Amino acid sequence: MEKISRRHMLTTTAAGGLLMAASAADAQSGNTGPQPRRPGVGGTDPGPRDVVRDSQNPDILVPPSTDHGTLPNLRFSFADAHMRLEPGGWTRQITSRELGVSKDIAGVDMRLNAGGVRELHWHKAAEWAYMLYGSARITAVDPQGRSFVNDVGVGDLWYFPAGVPHSIQGLNPDGCEFLLVFDDGDFDEDNTFLITDWFKHTPNEVLGKNFGVPASLFGHTPDPSERYMFPAPVPGPLSSDTVAGATASPQIFSHRIMAQTPITTKSGSVWITDSSVFPVAKTIASALVEVQPGGMRELHWHPNTNEWQYYIEGQARMGVFAASGQARTFDFRAGDVGYVPFAMGHYIENTGNTPLRFLEIFKSSYYADLSLDTWMALTPPELVQAHLKLDPQVMNALRKKVAPVVPA
């Protein structure tokens, strides 16, 4: 009970003190843990219930009084996704099957052990990735027959356009973990074009004719289920994987996001990456957002497309405004995925006592957002006042310059 109570005290702060601790009478009746009530509304939950889950989701158990309407679920956790375990590592995914509102983007969380290989393959969807842990070697061949090989580490990105064949391998000392994002919400990581699968389903005589060798040399390809994600020797230095006689692709399929200069305020930073700085990434744009304790990703919206989110560390709450009097609030922790439908206003607040870091992902070649604060600041003040009747102090505090993380 003490452990739950401590977590409850943290989440009550995140929810603005709206969760009420169980009373002595509640404890006697078994109604322990946070309760779905505010002064004058709600009541106790006698159970059955999941107290830990309720404590982690205070703004779902006791929504702010400003929430209203029937917005769909905008949150799903990788912790609730099916885990596929393979000899070379593991993988799990969140598609439109798990998060029904996300029709345009799907995500995969993948772990490769040192030497573990995600076999040579390609997809109908484009693949964007963010390295979460360790290091990996990636390879690709572009449509002009030119090769690409590079090593990536924590915070690095890669992008493979639809149809481009590629591979990923974990390096020493402990392999890697990465987030994959695909520009199709119905994408399924289990349905990719695998090199072993193609070999197994092509007649040996056709393979022989294609490669100019006897057909008898084929027929020994391992089953695709054995090579989807398999262990292999850890490769040597990057130079050792340069293919003799190959022409290097002029397209750069990887990107070091932390080498960029972020937009920084006293409460956080934002690194924006789209095709203007990572030219190959034609269908995925992103922002890496860091918010210090007490800070907030300001009230804003995106005028070009939906937003898919991945929470890397810390804890947060997100409020989403959907027009027509509809609004809903969600709580997030590391490993969670969030979603904001096109043009809906929202904020993301750091509700913990450690830095909050998350990714904003968009199916777009470019990043765009609009700030509520800046919109008001750049509109004739008399017109703003005619709408909102604000205190002069509020009007004087409006910012004409971009400050994506506030307080600025």
Q: What does the pLDDT look like over 56-85, one tens digit per residue?
A: 999 999 999 999 999 999 999 999 999 999
Question: Whole-model pTM?
Answer: 0.91
123 marked as part of a ligand binding site = yes
Tell me if residue 119 is catalytic.
Answer: no
What is the C-alpha separation between 204 and 335, in angstroms, rounded?
45
Which one of the listed residues 98, 119, 189, 360 is annotated catalytic? 360
Q: Which two tokens stand for residue 188?
A: 């399924």
Print burial letters for 354-372: b (CB count within 10 Å at least 16), e (below 16). Answer: ebbbbbbbbbbeebebebe
- Ordered by where they begin, the domains of the chain are 2-61 (no CATH), 81-255 (2.60.120.10), 260-406 (2.60.120.10)
Radius of gyration of the chain (CA): 25
166 marked as part of a ligand binding site = yes
- pLDDT in the model for residue 242: 84
201 marked as part of a ligand binding site = no
Residues of the chain with pLDDT under 50: 1-25, 27
What is the C-alpha separation between 287 and 262, in angstroms, rounded?
10
387 marked as part of a ligand binding site = no
300 marked as part of a ligand binding site = yes
Q: What does the pLDDT look like over 336-348, one tens digit per residue?
A: 999 999 999 999 9
- pLDDT in the model for residue 9: 38
What is the C-alpha separation between 388 and 365, in angstroms, rounded?
36
